[in-house]
Amino acid sequence: MVEQGRSTATITRVAEAAGVSRATVSRVMNGHSTVAPELAERVLAAARALDYAPSPVARSLALGRTATIALIVPDLSNPMFQDVLRGLSLAAGADGHRLLIAESNEHVEDEEVLAIEARRRCDGVVLASPRLPTADLERLVPQLTPLVLINRKLPGSGVPSLSVDHAAGIGDLVAHLLSLGHRRIAYLAGPPASTSNRDRLDALLRLSDHGREFELIQVPCGAMFDNGHDVAGEVAGSGATAVVAYNDMVAFGALSGLHELGVSVPGQISITGFDDIPFARFTTPPLTTAAVPKNTLGKQAWEQLRNQLDGRRTKHEADFRPRLLVRGSTGRVSS
């Protein structure tokens, strides 16, 4: 048997040492009612001497709450979720709550049981599950509440949801490209099952208006560097003068691939990303993109969750409009 930390004192031992009841110790430790100062002092002294701290697990059972929340994401390697994670961790931590993280590793089929299991160890859940079918999600809601959804709406369910307004972001990017004279635009599509990909694609289709505003060339791609890199050739041969990438990583991969092919950006082709992940302004050339406030998303998620934990009702849906950042990767169309 391995040494499992020093044997921890219990409330009973402290009570004995201080010559009081466990209830009194509990009251002192929680700053409750008014315990006689001299008693309180005795209790604290005993607690210090025994190096006592209340057991979170026992408290959780007695109180019915754990001071812990769960974040459920499909994929931790996605910078988008990393920032949400970070914002959430900081905000919840500042309010004395721990963060449990559960990653489905893109296995949608495990996501339900993962979420339910996680919820049972926690007081609430922040769920980012872009691929889970709506029907399944709806069925899940009662077991996950208090719940906050990220990048996903469930109208009429009363579940707070924080989303990026993808359509608005795409709108800004396209307007920018159109103003530069581009009329043949390739979309490097993200994962087909991803709702954010669908949102972005829908927006593009709408804006293209059946080719009347501009010609839209769809290129199946993915969500990672490599995917963008690998379609560079296809892009170059497509006749597109501008590329709207699913996200910054893809854009960066494409940038890299085009560079290797000797295609100049933005000289011959313009490229836009989406998200504004940290290095987007450091690429060569720096990436024009739509910045989504990812930290804000995490922080707001905590606010929404805390409201529910406190029994408050809360506003239900928030859309965060990305901010267009024009940088060096887009330029006037070469005629």
Partner DNA sequence: TTGAAAGCGCTAACAA
Partner DNA sequence: TTGTTAGCGCTTTCAA
In the complex, the residues that contact its own copies under the rule CB under 8 A are: 1-6, 8, 53, 55-58, 60-61, 66, 68, 76-77, 82-83, 85-86, 89-90, 93, 98-103, 105, 116-121, 142-146, 224-225, 229, 249, 252-253, 255-256, 259, 278-279, 281-284, 286, 308, 311-313
**CA–CA separation, 236 and 262 (whole Å):** 10
Q: What six digits make up the tokens of 233?
A: 């050739």
User: Residue 208, SS3?
Assistant: helix
The pair phi, psi for residue 51, each rounded to 5°, is: 60, 45
Residue 90, SS3 per DSSP: helix
The least distance separating DNA from the CB of residue 156, rounded to whole angstroms, comes to: 30
Q: What, of its own copies, DNA, none, does residue 218 touch, CB below 5 to 8 Å by kind? A: none
* Minimum distance from residue 30 beta carbon to DNA (Å): 5
Closest to DNA by CB, 55 vs 157, is 55
Q: Write out 231-284 in H/E/C secondary structure.
A: CHHHHHHCCCCEEEECCHHHHHHHHHHHHHCCCCCCCCCEEECCECCHHHHHCC
Give me the least distance between CB of 5 and DNA, in Å please: 12
Q: Is 68 in the site for DNA (CB under 7 A)?
A: no
> What amino acid occupies position 252?
F
Instruction: Name, in order, each residue with C-beta under 8 angstroms of 179's C-beta and a sequence gap of 6 or more.
Output: none
Residue 263 has a CB neighbour count (10 Å cut-off) of 17
Backbone conformation region of residue 334, classed left if phi is above 0, alpha if psi is from -120 to 50, else beta: beta
182-211: which residues touch DNA (CB under 7 A)?
none
Q: Give the nearest distance from C-beta 65 to DNA in angstroms.
A: 9
Residue 116 found at the interface with DNA (CB under 7 A): no
CB 282 within 8 A of CB 266: no
Q: Counting contacts by CB under 7 A, is residue 23 touching DNA?
A: yes
Q: Which does 77 bind (CB under 5 to 8 A by kind): DNA, its own copies, none?
A: its own copies
Identified binder of DNA from the candidate list 5, 63, 156, 315, rule CB under 7 A: 63
Least CB distance to DNA at residue 222 (A): 42
Q: Which stretch binds DNA (CB under 7 A): 9-17, 111-119, 208-216, 304-312?
A: 9-17
Give yes or no for residue 121 binding DNA (CB under 7 A): no
User: What does 20 bind: DNA, its own copies, none (CB cut-off 5 to 8 Å by kind)?
Assistant: DNA
- Cα gap 19→153, rounded to integer Å: 56
CA distance 335 to 333: 6
Least distance (Å) from DNA to the CB of residue 136?
Answer: 25
179 binds DNA (CB under 7 A): no
Closest CA relative to residue 235, chosen from 246, 164, 132: 246
Which one of its own copies, DNA, none is in contact with 102 (Cβ closer than 5 to 8 A by kind)? its own copies
Comparison of 181 and 328: residue with beta carbon closer to its own copies = 328
Tokens of 314: 């809360």
Number of other CB atoms surrounding residue 8 within 10 Å = 13
Per CB under 7 A, residues contacting DNA are 8, 10-12, 19-27, 29-30, 32-36, 39-40, 52-55, 58-59, 61-64
